[in-house]
Amino acid sequence: MLTEIQEGKALDSVVRHITQEKINLYAEASGDFNPIHVDESFAAKTPLGGTIAHGMLNLAYVSEMMTSAFGRSWLSGGKLRAKFKEPARPGDTLTIIGKISCVEKKDDISYANCNFECRNQKGETIVIGETIVKVSSDKE
Amino acid sequence: MSVKTVSYEELIPGYEFPPATYELSASLVSKYLKAVDSEGDGFVPPLAITACAIASMTGSLSLPSSAIVIHASQELEFFKLVPIGATIECRTEVAQKITRGKMSMLILELEVFNKGREKVQSGRATIALPT
């Protein structure tokens, strides 16, 4: 967990390697068997040219980074806004980075606003977004 | 038990998908954690709950077999910790349906409640369907 909540503070990054096996496992766990994720011959014939990871799998890694940094504050009071820019594919290594962009106080409660980005090994942006986490209350 | 399905053409703003109930058992959570390469922290990961909410929608949506469904954006807000073993109810509603050229976009509002009828999560998903 972060011990210091201040503007510019980087969150510990998360690195994950995407494989078709992991995508298949995620399909089973989530119940999302859309063929673009799990059917390699179907996906090869689409404009995407092959299977892609579920957007929610990529976002799970972002949540992992936020949970490591903020613990229960994230799990019970986090907000997230994400845009999926490019698909993640089997063989990709994703690196999720984030930092606190500002700390705001509203009604005696402090909130950490963070920016995050998920990039592949080529440096392409896969997911980009912002999060907000309640980090302290003067009333507590 | 068969799930009543709705076709994409039938979806209109305000359409509510049938609510779905999930028991977030230890085995289900463990399966999810393995899939996302995470050790977990004793609670249900909030994104596992979102996955249930999305599955409750896709499970009752009938699309042509050639359709590609792409997740374009996601907003989420978490309100409560959800313990492993909890039962949740997922509600999904069509907020907007937009067609632009060869692209259709569905904007869905998601809400998830615990057994005590407290909201544990809400969100908004944008799904793109190239036609």
Asked whether residue B67 is domain-assigned, the answer is yes
Tokens 């053409």 correspond to B9
Asked whether residue A86 is domain-assigned, the answer is yes
Give the 3-state secondary structure of B80-130: CCCECCCEEEEEEEEEEEEEECCEEEEEEEEEEEECCCCEEEEEEEEEEEE
CATH of residue B21's domain is 3.10.129.10
Asked whether residue B9 is domain-assigned, the answer is no
Asked whether residue A35 is domain-assigned, the answer is no
Give CA–CA dist B13/B31, Å, rounded. Answer: 34
Question: Both tokens of residue B62?
Answer: 């009938």
- How many independent structural domains does chain A possess? 1
Nearest chain B Cα distance for residue A8, angstroms = 23
Instruction: Look up the domain containing A107 and give its range.
Output: 10-19+55-137
Report the pLDDT value the prediction gives residue A57, as an integer from 0 to 100: 97
CATH of residue A64's domain is 3.10.129.10
| Amino acid found at B99 | T
Binary contact (B36, A26; C-beta < 8 A): yes
The string of pLDDT tens digits covering residues B28-48 is 999 999 999 998 888 999 999
How far is the CA of B62 from the CAs of B53, B59, B69, in angstroms? 16, 8, 12
- How many independent structural domains does chain B possess? 1
Size of interface A-B (CB pairs under 8 A): 117
The string of pLDDT tens digits covering residues B51-64 is 988 888 887 888 77
Nearest chain B Cα distance for residue A127, angstroms = 9
Asked whether residue A3 is domain-assigned, the answer is no
In contact, B44 and B24? CB cutoff 8 Å = yes
Instruction: Look up the domain containing B69 and give its range.
Output: 15-130
Quick one: B45 exposed, middle or buried, by C-beta within 10 A (0-12, 13-18, 19+)? buried
Question: Both tokens of residue A85?
Answer: 């820019």
ipTM comes to: 0.92
Asked whether residue A5 is domain-assigned, the answer is no
Q: Which residues of chain A have pLDDT under 70?
A: 137-140
Quick one: B59 exposed, middle or buried, by C-beta within 10 A (0-12, 13-18, 19+)? middle
Give CA–CA dist A97/A99, Å, rounded. Answer: 7
Report the pLDDT value the prediction gives residue A78, as an integer from 0 to 100: 96
Binary contact (A56, B54; C-beta < 8 A): yes
The string of pLDDT tens digits covering residues B62-121 is 877 777 888 999 999 999 999 999 999 999 999 999 988 888 899 999 999 999 999 999
